Chains A and B, each alone.
Chain A
Amino acid sequence: MSQEVNLHGQSEVITTHEVHHDEHHGHHHKETFITKYIFSQDHKMIAKQFLVTGIIWAIIGGLFSVLFRLQLGYPNESFPFLETILGKWAAGGKIQPEFYYALITMHGTVLVFFVLTAGLSGTFSNFLIPLQVGARDMASPFMNMLSYWFFFAASVLMVSSLFVQTGPASGGWTSYPPLSALGDASEGSKIGMDLWLISMALFVVNSLLGSLNYISTILNMRTKGMSMTRVPLTIWALFFTAVLGVLSFPVLLSGFILLLFDRHAGTSFYLSDIFLASTQKALPNEGGSAILYQHLFWFLGHPEVYIIILPTMGLVSDVMSANARKPIFGYMAMVASMFAICVLAFLVWAHHMFVTGLNPFLGSVFVLLTLLIAVPSAIKVFNWLTTLWRGNLRFTPGMLFAIGFVSMFISGGLTGIFLGNSTLDIHLHDTYFVIAHFHIVMGVSAFFGMFAGLYHWFPKMFGRYMNNTLAYIHFWITLVGAYLIFWPMHYQGFAGVPRRYLDFSGWASFNQFEGLNRFISIVTIVVFAIQLLFVFNFFYSMFKGRRVTTQNPWQATTLEWTTPINPGHGNWEGEIPEVHRWAYDYGKDGRDFIPQTEPVSKTESPEGAH
C-alpha cells in the first residue's frame, strides 16, 4: 500500500478494504463457530484466548489475595459470609491456617505462571509477532493451537485442585520438599499437590510449544527487508523471553518429575532423615537433598522473573516511543542490555538460596553476578528517560501505564540491590521486604506493562477503543494504590517481619504493625475493585466501544497498523508489505512519523543522524 494513501486518504482505503474483505471470504474456506473461536489456528484468535483466560485467572488470583489480606488486616474479627462461601475452610468466619496457606500458594502460582507468563507472553507473542514481523501466521499454527489447549488443560486441573477435600497445594508457590513431598506433613501435600504438579507439567508443555513457535517465527518468517536490526523492540523482547523459556522450563519439569517420584515411587531424591510428628514415624528415605530441588526450581525460577518482565520492557519501549513521537533512545543498547539480562538470568539463581547453608564462597560469586544485572537494567531505565526527554508526549492510557511501569521498575529494581547482596539478605530474606520487592518489580511493573500493551493494541485486537475516562481512573488509582500497598512493606521487612504468617499477635517482635496491616488490606480491596472496573471496560468496549475508523489510530510506524482495521486470517490483503527502515522514525526530518513500509528517499538525512 502506498504511503500517500496511508497519510491522506484513510477513509478511502477502508472502503476498498471492506470490499476486498468480502471477496476474500467469498472464495475462502468457510469458518464455523468452532474453527473460528474455539479450535482456531489464527494467531490473533489464539492471542485473545490466552488473554481472556489470563484475565479470568487474574481475577481468581487477585480474589485470593483479597481473602488473605482480610485475615492479615483483621486477624481478630470473623466474617460469617466467608463460612457461607468457603465452608470448613473458614469455620466460624475465620480463615483457617491450612486454607490461608492454600490461598497464598495459589495466588503465587496463578499470578506468576498463569497470568504473567501465559496471559502475558501468550497474548502478546501470539498477537504481535506475526503482525510486527510481517508474517501471515505463526510458523506452526497447529502447534500454536495445541499450546493454548495445553494451557487450558493445565487451568482445568489447577481449578479442580481447589475443590478436592484436602484442599489445593499449600506449600508456597515454590513448593519446597519435603513439605510438598509428604502428605503427612501437610493437608495440601496430599492429592492437591499431585494435581498441582500435573497441572504445572502441562503448563510447561504449553510454554515450550508456544516458545518454539515464537522463536522460529521471528527467525524465519520476517517479511522482505525486515532485518533483525529493524524489528521493533517488542519482538526482541519476546524473542529473548521465548529463548529463556525453552532453556529453563525443562529444568523445572525435571525437578517436578523427581518430586513426583519421591511422592509415589519411594525414591529419595529430596528426602533424608525425616521423622514426622503427626504420625510419630521415621521415614525410610536417606541420602536425598532437599536443596537439590531448590537448585532445580530456581534455575527456572529466576529466569522466570525475566520471562515475566522482558515482554513488558518491549511493549513499554514501543508504546513510549509512539506516544513521545520520538525514536526509542539507544535501540542497540536496548537490545544488548536485554541480551545481557537474558544471559545473566541463568547465572544468578542461587541468590534465592544465600541462607540455605550454601557455601559462602559460592554465595559471593552469585552476589557479583546478581548485582551485575543492575547494569543492563540501569541502561534501560536511562534510555527510557532519554526517550521522554524533549519528546512531545501524548498521555494516552497506554502511555501513562508505560510511565508508571518505569517508575515501578526503578523502585523495585533498586530494592533488588538490597536482596542481591548476601550480607543484607541474611536479615531481609523471607521478610516483607522480599514481598515488597518482587511485587513491585515483577508484579506491579509487569501488570503496568501489560496494561500499556492492552490499551495500546486494543484497537488492533477488536477494532474498537476502550473508554478513556475509565482507563484514566484505572491508571491513577492503580498507581497510587500499588505504592500505598507495597511501599510500607519495606519497613515491615526492615523490622524483620516474616512472610507467610497469618497472625502476628503471638509475636512481640512483629506485632507493631497492626494499623498498617489493616490499611494495606483496605487499599488492596479498593485496588482490586478498580481492576474489576478495567475488566468491565475491556469486555464492554469489545462489543460496544467506539469504533476505530482509521487504520493507524496512534500514527505508529510499525507493520501491524498497515493491516485492515479488522484483519482476517492471513493479516494482509494481497502482498505482505516490504520494509525499508527501522521501527522508530518518529520526528525525523520534521515529519511526524515515517512508516516502516516507506522507502528511504534520497533527500532524507542518513539513519541515526540527529
Chain B
Amino acid sequence: MSTLLIIAILLLGFIVVFQIAKASEYVSVLKGEKKTFEQNNKINGFLLLAFLILGLIGVYWCNELFKGKILGEAASDHGEKIDTMLYITIAITGVVFIITQILLFWFSYKYQYSEKRKPYYFPHDNKLEIIWTVVPAIALTVLVGFGLFYWFKITGDAPKEANVIEITGKQFGWIYRYPGKDKVFGKKYYKNINEGQLNQLGLLWEDRAAQDDIVTNEAMYMIVGRPVKLVINSRDVVHDVGLVHFRMKMDAVPGTPTTMWFTPKYTTAQMKEKTGNPDFEYEISCDQMCGKGHYSMKGIVKVVEPAEYLLWLAKQKPNYVMSNPPAETAPATPAAPASDSTVTAATEIKKTLSN
C-alpha cells in the first residue's frame, strides 16, 4: 500500500513539474524569447554563484561532521607514513581544488551574458600554456617523490628479526599458520587439503618441518613493537588481506604467494584504552570481491605483549597432532573442531552478523 502511495505521489509530482514547465514555455512565448533568455540567464548565473558558496560551506561542514569518524591514529609504523603522505596530498590537492572551483564558478557568474559586453577574442597564449604545464608538473614531482620514498620503505624487505606468519584466504574466512619451534614452514600441496582430517592447508606430514606447524582459524597473534611479515596465500579465489588500522593491504592470489610487513605499535589492550571502546579488535577485512560471503569475511588480529604471545603459543597444538591423533582418542576428539572447519558460508555469515 505504502509503495503504491509513494508511486502515486511521485507521479503526481512529475505531472505538476511538467505542467509548470509547459506553462513556462507558453509564458516565454508571450514575454518574448529574448526577455525570457535574459531572465533565465540571470537566475542561473546567480545559482552558480550560490552553489559555489554553499558548496564550499558544505565541504567544510562535511569535514567537521566526519573527521572524528575516520583515520584514528595509525597502529603501525607504515601506517604513520601513509597518513603523512595522505595529509601532504590533501593539502596540495585541496588548494588546487578550492582555487579552480572558485575560478570556474566566479567566471561563470561574472561573465554571464550582458548586452553590453564584447567577448574578448583570446584564442591562445603560449606563455600561459607553459605556466600551467610546468606548475602542475612540479607539484606532481613533489608528490611522486614523497610517494615513492615511502613506497620503497613500505615495500622493501622485511627486517631479519621479523616474525613470519602465513595467512591463507578461503571462501569465506582466514587460516593462520605459524612455523612452530623450528621457525620453518613445512611443505604443503593443495591436493592434500582434507578438511575432514583437519588438514586445511594440505600440509605434507612426511616433511618434518610441517609437523610442528601451528594452524588456527581463531585469530592472528602478533607481538607489539616487533616487525611481522605476512606470507599471503589463497586457497580458492582472489581475496585481499585488509588491515585498516595498520593501513595495510595485500591481495591473496591462489598459486602466487604475496607478502607484506609492518610493525604494530599498540597492543589490542592499548587500543581498547585509546579508542575508549572495551570491545575493540583489530579486524581483517577481505578487500577483494570473492563471492557471496565477501562482506562477512572477517578475521581478528590480536597484538599482544611478548609474554602473552609466548603463553598463547605454548597452548597451541601443532596441526599434525590434531590431524593425526593417537589411535585410542581418535573417535572422541575431532568431532567438535571438524564441524568448525567445515562451516558453510551461511552459518559463517550468521556468526559474523551476530558478533
Contacts and interface: CB of A to CB of B under 8 A. Distances in A.
Interface of A: 81, 97-98, 101, 170-172, 176-179, 182, 185-187, 271-278, 280, 282, 286-291, 324-333, 355-357, 360, 363-364, 367-368, 371-372, 374-375, 378-379, 381-386, 388-395, 400, 403, 406-407, 410-411, 414-415, 417-418, 421-424, 426-427, 429-431, 467-470, 472-473, 476, 479-480, 483, 487-488, 491-492, 494-496, 498-510, 512-513, 516, 529, 532-533, 536-537, 546, 584, 586-590, 608, 610
A512 B244 CA distance: 14
Interface stretch (B109-117, B203-211, B305-313, B322-330): B109-117
Interface stretch (B212-220, B221-229, B289-297): B289-297
B295 A98 contact: no
B258 A357 contact: yes
A388 B113 CA distance: 11
Contacts of B163: none
Given A470-B21, A506-B355, A385 B89 contact: no
B124 A272 contact: no
6 contacts: A390-B119, A395-B108, A403-B108, A501-B294, A512-B69, A608-B123
Given A423-B82, A501-B294, A507-B298, A326 B235 contact: no
B293 A332 contact: no
A424 B85 contact: yes
A176 B289 contact: yes
Nearest to B36: A468
A330 B14 contact: no
B175 to A, nearest CB: 11
Given A290-B238, A468-B40, A97 B287 contact: no
Contact of B123 (A331, A392, A418, A512): A331
Q: Contact residue range for chain B?
A: 35 or more
A513 to B, nearest CB: 7
Contacts of B40: 395, 468, 472
Contacts of A410: 96-97, 100-101, 104
Contacts of B70: 491-492, 494-495
Contacts of A288: 255
Interface stretch (B47-55, B176-184, B332-340): B47-55
A178 B28 CA distance: 60
Given A424-B86, A491-B69, A509-B245, A391 B111 contact: yes
B314 interface: no
Nearest to B235: A275
A88 B112 CA distance: 55
A506 B353 contact: yes
Contacts of A394: 37, 41, 113
B193 interface: yes
A427 B117 contact: no
A383 B132 CA distance: 9
A326 B147 contact: no
Nearest to A400: B44
Contact of A274 (B45, B89, B190): B190
Nearest to A356: B251
Nearest to A171: B289
A116 B251 CA distance: 29
B318 interface: no
Given A179-B291, A371-B143, A509-B283, A422 B151 contact: yes
A282 B171 contact: no
B59 A430 contact: no
B256 A393 contact: no
A509 B111 contact: no
A587 B118 CA distance: 7
A417 B91 CA distance: 12
Nearest to B14: A533
Interface string B130-160: 0011001100100110111011101110000
Contact of A290 (B96, B256, B259, B352): B256
Nearest to A410: B100
B119 A324 contact: yes
B119 A325 contact: yes
B347 interface: no
B251 to A, nearest CB: 5
Nearest to A105: B289
Contacts of B132: 378-379, 382
Contacts of A186: 291-292
B111 A498 contact: no
A179 B132 CA distance: 45
Contact of A390 (B122, B171, B293, B294): B122
Contacts of B277: 508
A476 B248 CA distance: 40
Nearest to B124: A330
Contacts of A176: 237-238, 288-289
A368 B192 CA distance: 44
B242 interface: yes
B22 interface: yes
Interface string B261-287: 000000000000000010111010111
Residue among B59, B232, B242 with max Cβ neighbours from chain A (10 Å): B242
A328 B253 CA distance: 49
Contacts of A277: 170-171, 195, 235-236, 342, 345
B52 to A, nearest CB: 9
Contact of B151 (A330, A360, A388): A360
B206 to A, nearest CB: 18
Nearest to A532: B14
Nearest to B244: A496
Give the 6 A-B residue pairs with the shortest CB-CB distance, closest first: A272-B255, A357-B258, A496-B244, A360-B155, A501-B295, A395-B44
A357 B124 contact: no
Contact of A97 (B103, B112, B113, B293): B293
A488 B58 CA distance: 10
A272 B294 contact: no
Contact of B285 (A368, A418, A507, A608): A507
A345 B204 CA distance: 46
B105 interface: yes
Nearest to A479: B51
B87 to A, nearest CB: 11
Contact of A363 (B86, B123, B151): B151
A303 B74 CA distance: 35
Nearest to B255: A272
A480 B51 contact: yes
A533 B79 CA distance: 47
B107 A389 contact: yes
B309 to A, nearest CB: 23
Contacts of A364: 148, 151-152
A275 B193 contact: yes
B247 interface: yes
A355 B18 contact: no
Nearest to A403: B108
A185 B144 contact: no
Contact of A467 (B21, B86, B97, B202): B21
B81 interface: yes
Contacts of B152: 360, 364
A70 to B, nearest CB: 12
Contacts of B124: 329-333, 608
A174 B331 CA distance: 47
A275 B121 contact: no
Given A357-B250, A389-B111, A470-B21, A367 B144 contact: yes
A101 B119 contact: no
A584 to B, nearest CB: 7
B81 A423 contact: yes
Contacts of A278: 171, 345
